[in-house]
Amino acid sequence: MLFTSYEFLGFILILFVLYYLIPTKFQWPLLLAASYVFYFLADPFYLIYILTTTVTVYFLGCRIERYREEQSGYLKDHKEELSREEKKAYKSGIKKRQWRLLLLGLLINLGILAVVKYTNFAIANVNFVLHCFGSSREFGLVDLVLPMGISFYTFQALGYIIDVYRGTVKAQKNPFQFALFVSFFPQLVQGPISRYQDLSETLFGGHKFHAETVCFGLERILWGFFKKLVIADRILVGVNTIVRNPEEYGGAYVLAGMLFYALELYADFTGGIDITIGVAQVLGITVTENFNRPYFSKSIKEYWRRWHITMGTWFTDYIFYPISVCKPMLKFSRFAREHFGEAIGKRMPVYLSSFAVWLATGIWHGASWNFVVWGLGNWVVIMISQELEPLYKKFHEWAGRRFGREIGENVLFRCFQVIRTILLMSVLRTFDCYRDVPLTFRMLGSAVRGGNWQIFWDGSLLGLGLDMADYGILAAGLVLLLVVSLLQRSGSVREKIARRPYPVRFMIWYGLFLAVLLMGAYGIGYDASQFIYNQF
Amino acid sequence: MMQASLSIINFRKDEEKVKRKKIMKAAVTAALVLTSLFLLQCLLVPKYATDVVEGSLIAEYYQEEKDHDVVFIGDCEVYENFSPRVLWEEYGINSYIRGSAQQLIWQSYYLLEDTLRYEKPEVVIFNVLAMQYDRPQKEAYNRMSLEGMKWSGAKVKAIRASMTEREEFLDYVFPILRYHSRWEELKSEDVQYLFDRKKVSHNGYYMRVDVKPAENVPEGNILADYQFGENAYDYLDRMTRLCRENDIQLILIKAPSLYPFWYEEWEQQIEDYAEKNDLLYLNFLEMTEETGIDFSTDTYDGGLHMNLSGAEKLSACLGRILQEDVGLKDRRGEKELSEKWQEKIIAYEAEKERQYKENMG
């Protein structure tokens, strides 16, 4: 069920009405039922996967928690009898058992993810290696269905069990509430990857109908539809034309494609998240924000703190930090400091951990080399910019002396930084566009050579399946996105609108509704497009 | 005490006032939204007034006095090949054509169901070319056949039976969802015919007076399977049953259009069906002598459809059969009906004259 389908609109409409009609204590069971119906309607077969994840993580989480309770009970009861060493040995024994359970949980769930998502990638690579060694043997690809949202709910569940292991959250004892945490339908499709401690605060409690909250939620849904249907799905036509015909559209077209894709991806992904957060808000549930105006970032590092925030923090908390402080890494750190000096030796373990994070980020996005190269490309750019930090500092000092004030405060320089970040990210995303590493390099080379810059003013862009009206709508949409982003800097736009008189509010939201209705790229004549992040 | 009661009363009054104000605001908002959406929908739906007028045919039936002796159902081979005016003028038969472009057999069946809500004709004539399609075909043709139908169970069933893979039922209920992007191609006729549609047919007949002789008509391609589909047969059975239940004589016809090609194998199947079900079947392709059709003068598109001359010849022949073999009465003596037909004939003649002038110009 696509978020932009009539079925989904009907589904949430019925749910909203029922949700506020029934007693509040039945609201979360209703959400659980709705989430499973939502998943069932996508494909009944998917239920096997999500149930496996739910059941294994639930039981292992409870078991880990029980060990902790046993430990504290035992230590309390034998406080006087046990020596410090005995206590330490006991704790270490418990920790080991908990670790084994955690490992089991990780293996089962990452195993499922690996099998359904990466089997064919592995087979294709084995075949390639065999071919390189002159073997004629070839393994056939497997016909595996990738369950909807598996990367998202698996990571969410694993985040939970790691937190239980670390003792930062208490295990959820109610299996049905836990099942709801894993399967909460609005975020099942494309995230965000919520943390248990955040989502559980509002997910299981009763919610009385609160007109303003519901209204804000509906506004957010509408805004999401605007981004997805008016902008993302419209510009998609241009992106597809350029990307699917690389022989025909080289040079400056590649640059146009990069910029189009930057806009498409932003509108598509943030639009989807707006719908997710809006649906949850109508239900009185707070879902973690996933974006913070990422295209205003002045560096790639900053960009990744503001784009797909929940994924970034997940990788930082559950991959970067554990790797950084694991024993082999600490050993390597010592070794690096001894052999390469303090300055370099200190940075090397950080770079290595970052490498692991970006490799994982790339692989998480898709089972193909283009995503791996894309992930590592981000790593390279971040590392280079980090290495160049002293140089930047010197430049800023020089510019400060030369112009009499800090250059970072100069609007033009800030704009330059923002544009540079957008361009850099767009270049890296071409690996996502063409989905073929050699082809991407070829097309990037063609973009650098250019030669056909006139396409930007001679009307050639009208041959991409987009007419003047489309470009007009896209330009207006872009301006609106920009205005909203700028307004967001001084607080919630919806709150600002809420303070306006009723006729103004009505005109704003009805205008937006009409824009979606009349200018949305939906229905016959338009390709029904999935949200890009559904595929991950 | 009294003051306290008074302040409670005032408080309640204020509360009621606020409540009333809220209800008022909601009502005005709803009215504004619904009215504007309705107007937008009226503006955006195609008017079928000049370019593709076939989309107007189905809806025009509802403006008619429903007292027809004969109702035609089927595709372009009925609405372009028969002239109800000739049937009236020469035989006193009051007829109407409920035809539409590429009307599929289930659409014909549900149009018949729909017709029976209003009247019970003595004869229903169905053109069998539609038997070649067993599955939904094109959305554009679906729209032209179904949008004009008034809402009823028959329309709902017709839509459900006709939808292609990407079509949504809701788009038929709220056509604005289907035509939302038509603002890019709005013309003056969209404003002109915002509420009232232009009448384009003459009792369902779509007149064309121009001539394009039939030359080099292609032979039919070899088909993998000549058997009509199960679904098509099912609807033909339903049609036969429905007519029988309502004491209506169903006549199957194959209009004399040379293309799309009418295969011998298809002919055989229809002949067998007609015989088995005791139905009259008229293949006008084999009756050129009786009809007097001359494919060098009586077609406007090289043999696909009749022009006015062809349609009038064909109608004259059909009228004779309907009167002599089927036994339909001559109703020219009915004063009220005759007067209505007089008005229609004036409009018919005017259109004929306009088209002749246009062609000559």
The first and second tokens of residue A39, run together, are 């998943």
- Cα–Cα distance for residue pair A278/A494, rounded to 1 Å: 12
Q: Supply the DSSP symbol for A231.
A: I
Give CA separation, B62 vs A279, B48, B149, B254, B331, in Å.
Answer: 44, 17, 9, 26, 22
- The shortest CB-CB distance from B33 to any of A510, A524, A525 is to A510
In Å, how far is A245's CA from the nearest CA of chain B? Answer: 26
- Cα–Cα distance for residue pair A243/A254, rounded to 1 Å: 8
Residues of chain A contacting residue B184, judged by C-beta atoms under 8 Å apart: 467, 469
Chain A: which residues have CB within 8 Å of chain B?
Answer: 6, 467, 469, 502, 506, 510, 514, 517-520, 522-525, 528
Range of the domain at A368: 294-435
Q: How confident is the model at residue A530 (pLDDT cuts 50, 70, 90)?
A: low
Residue B39: inside a domain, yes or no? no
CB contact under 8 A, B168 and A6: yes
In Å, how far is B179's CA from the nearest CA of chain A? Answer: 9
Highest mean pLDDT pick, A149-153, A408-412, B47-51 = A149-153
From the CA atom positions of chain B, what is the Rg in Å? 25
Mean pLDDT value across residues A192-220: 93
Give CA separation, A9 vs A38, B26, B78, in Å.
Answer: 12, 22, 42
Residue B115 has pLDDT above 60, yes or no: yes
Task: List beta partners, residue B123.
Answer: B70, B249
- Which of A237, A471, A518 should one mutate to test binding to chain B, selecting the residue with the greatest count of B CBs within 10 A? A518
CB contact under 8 A, B184 and A469: yes
Residue A166: inside a domain, yes or no? yes
Query: Which helix (H) or strand (E) is B30 found in, with range?
Result: helix B2-44
Question: CB burial class (10 A; 0-12, 13-18, 19+) of residue B128?
Answer: buried
CB contact under 8 A, A528 and B166: yes
- Compute φ and ψ for A358, nearest 5 degrees: -75, -30
When divided into structural domains, chain A yields a total of 2
- pLDDT given for residue B238 in this prediction: 97
- Cα–Cα distance for residue pair A486/A484, rounded to 1 Å: 5
Residue A404 has pLDDT above 60, yes or no: yes
Residue B307 has pLDDT above 90, yes or no: yes
Q: Please indicate whether residue B118 or residue A529 has the higher confidence score (pLDDT).
A: B118
Contacts of B172 (CB under 8 A, 6+ apart): B146, B147, B159, B178
When divided into structural domains, chain B yields a total of 1
In single-letter form, the type of residue at position B167 comes to: E
Residue B30: inside a domain, yes or no? no
CB contact under 8 A, A523 and B33: no
Mean pLDDT value across residues B67-83: 95
Quick one: closest CA in B to A528, which residue?
Answer: B166
Smallest CA-to-CA distance from A365 within A190, A109, A120 is with: A190
Q: How confident is the model at residue B2 (pLDDT cuts 50, 70, 90)?
A: low
Residues of chain B contacting residue A518, judged by C-beta atoms under 8 Å apart: 40, 180-181, 183
CB contact under 8 A, B40 and A518: yes
Residues of chain B contacting residue A515, judged by C-beta atoms under 8 Å apart: none
Mean pLDDT value across residues A293-307: 93
A339 is known as an active-site residue: no
User: Measured in Å, how far apart are chain A's first and last C-alpha atoms?
Assistant: 16
- pLDDT given for residue A384 in this prediction: 92
- Cα–Cα distance for residue pair A262/A269, rounded to 1 Å: 11
- Cα–Cα distance for residue pair B50/B60, rounded to 1 Å: 15
Residue B229: inside a domain, yes or no? yes
- pLDDT given for residue A534 in this prediction: 55
- Cα–Cα distance for residue pair A514/A259, rounded to 1 Å: 27
Mean pLDDT value across residues B148-159: 96
Range of the domain at B120: 45-360
In Å, how far is A235's CA from the nearest CA of chain B? Answer: 15
What angle is formed at CA B273 by the lines to CA B269 and CA B277, rounded to 5 degrees? 175
In single-letter form, the type of residue at position B127 comes to: N
Q: Tell me how crowded residue A330 is: count the other CB atoms within 10 A of its CB.
A: 12
- pLDDT given for residue B51 in this prediction: 79
Quick one: closest CA in A to B138, which residue?
Answer: A524
Residues of chain B contacting residue A502, judged by C-beta atoms under 8 Å apart: 25
pLDDT in tens, A441-478: 999 999 998 788 899 999 999 989 999 999 999 999 99
Q: How confident is the model at residue A307 (pLDDT cuts 50, 70, 90)?
A: very high
DSSP-based three-state secondary structure for B71: strand
CB contact under 8 A, B33 and A502: no
Residue B26: inside a domain, yes or no? no
Q: How confident is the model at residue B328 (pLDDT cuts 50, 70, 90)?
A: very high
Q: How far is CA B270 from the centre of its chain?
A: 23
Quick one: closest CA in A to B183, which residue?
Answer: A518
- The shortest CB-CB distance from B29 to any of A506, A520, A523 is to A506
In Å, how far is B166's CA from the nearest CA of chain A? Answer: 7
pLDDT in tens, B161-177: 999 988 999 999 999 99
Helix axes A6-21, A27-42, angle to 10 degrees: 160
Identify the CATH number of the domain in which residue B337 sits: 3.40.50.1110
Residue B183: inside a domain, yes or no? yes
- pLDDT given for residue A30 in this prediction: 97
Query: Which helix (H) or strand (E) is A64 found in, with range?
Result: helix A46-77
B175 in contact with A, Cβ within 8 Å: no
The residue out of A160, A182, A206 marking a domain boundary is A206
DSSP of B268-295, one letter per residue?
Answer: HHHHHHHHHTT-EEEEGGG-HHHH---T
Residue A507: inside a domain, yes or no? no
- Cα–Cα distance for residue pair A101/A62, rounded to 1 Å: 10
- pLDDT given for residue B1 in this prediction: 60
B51 in contact with A, Cβ within 8 Å: no
B139 in contact with A, Cβ within 8 Å: yes
In Å, how far is A358's CA from the nearest CA of chain B? Answer: 40
DSSP-based three-state secondary structure for B74: strand
Residue B155 has, within 13 A of its CA and on its CB side, a CA count of: 16
Quick one: closest CA in B to A470, which residue?
Answer: B184
Do B252 and B279 contact (CB within 8 A), yes or no?
yes
- The shortest CB-CB distance from B180 to any of A469, A518, A528 is to A518
pLDDT in tens, B228-261: 999 999 999 999 999 999 999 999 999 998 888 9
- Number of CB pairs < 8 Å for A and B? 31
Q: How confident is the model at residue A529 (pLDDT cuts 50, 70, 90)?
A: low
Smallest CA-to-CA distance from B255 within B142, B103, B93 is with: B103
- Cα–Cα distance for residue pair B195/A112, rounded to 1 Å: 59
**Full strand arrangement of the beta sheet holding B280-283:** B95-99, B70-74, B123-127, B249-254, B280-283
Residue A285: inside a domain, yes or no? no
Do A434 and A443 contact (CB within 8 A), yes or no?
yes
CB contact under 8 A, A502 and B167: no
In Å, how far is B178's CA from the nearest CA of chain A? Answer: 6
- pLDDT given for residue B10 in this prediction: 74
Give CA separation, B324 vs A207, B90, B318, B329, in Å.
Answer: 77, 13, 10, 10
Residue A56: inside a domain, yes or no? yes
B63 in contact with A, Cβ within 8 Å: no
Residue B139: inside a domain, yes or no? yes
Residue B300: inside a domain, yes or no? yes
Among A131, A210, A365, A396, the active-site one is A365
- pLDDT given for residue B193 in this prediction: 87
- pLDDT given for residue A81 in this prediction: 84
In single-letter form, the type of residue at position A329 comes to: M
pLDDT in tens, A169-179: 999 999 999 99
In Å, how far is B181's CA from the nearest CA of chain A? Answer: 6
Query: Which helix (H) or strand (E) is A77 found in, with range?
Result: helix A46-77
CB contact under 8 A, A523 and B178: yes
- Cα–Cα distance for residue pair A60/A165, rounded to 1 Å: 10
Residue A463: inside a domain, yes or no? no
In Å, how far is A510's CA from the nearest CA of chain B? Answer: 8
Q: How far is CA A211 from the centre of its chain?
A: 30
- Cα–Cα distance for residue pair B155/B143, rounded to 1 Å: 12
Q: Tell me how crowded residue B292 is: count the other CB atoms within 10 A of its CB.
A: 14
Highest mean pLDDT pick, A139-143, A340-344, B66-70, B185-189 = B66-70
Task: List beta partners, residue B250.
Answer: B124
- pLDDT given for residue B6 in this prediction: 67
B184 in contact with A, Cβ within 8 Å: yes
CB contact under 8 A, A517 and B176: yes
Residue B258: inside a domain, yes or no? yes
Residue A395: inside a domain, yes or no? yes
Q: How confident is the model at residue B12 (pLDDT cuts 50, 70, 90)?
A: confident
Residues of chain A contacting residue B29, judged by C-beta atoms under 8 Å apart: 506
| Domain shared by A181 and A66, yes or no | yes
Residue A153 has pLDDT above 70, yes or no: yes
- pLDDT given for residue B359 in this prediction: 82
- pLDDT given for residue A176 in this prediction: 97
* Cis bond upstream, residue B136 (ω within 30): no
B167 in contact with A, Cβ within 8 Å: yes
Residue B114 has pLDDT above 70, yes or no: yes
B21 in contact with A, Cβ within 8 Å: no
The first and second tokens of residue B346, run together, are 């004036």
Helix axes A411-434, A252-282, angle to 10 degrees: 90
The residue out of A435, A455, A488 marking a domain boundary is A435
The residue out of A435, A463, A489 marking a domain boundary is A435
Q: Supply the DSSP symbol for B328.
A: P
B166 in contact with A, Cβ within 8 Å: yes
- pLDDT given for residue A450 in this prediction: 78
Quick one: closest CA in A to B140, which residue?
Answer: A524
Helix axes A196-203, A175-183, angle to 10 degrees: 110
- pLDDT given for residue A527 in this prediction: 59
B177 in contact with A, Cβ within 8 Å: yes
Q: Tell me how crowded residue A66 is: count the other CB atoms within 10 A of its CB.
A: 13
The first and second tokens of residue B106, run together, are 């289930």
| Domain shared by A174 and A304, yes or no | no
User: Measured in Å, how far apart are chain B's first and last C-alpha atoms?
Assistant: 94
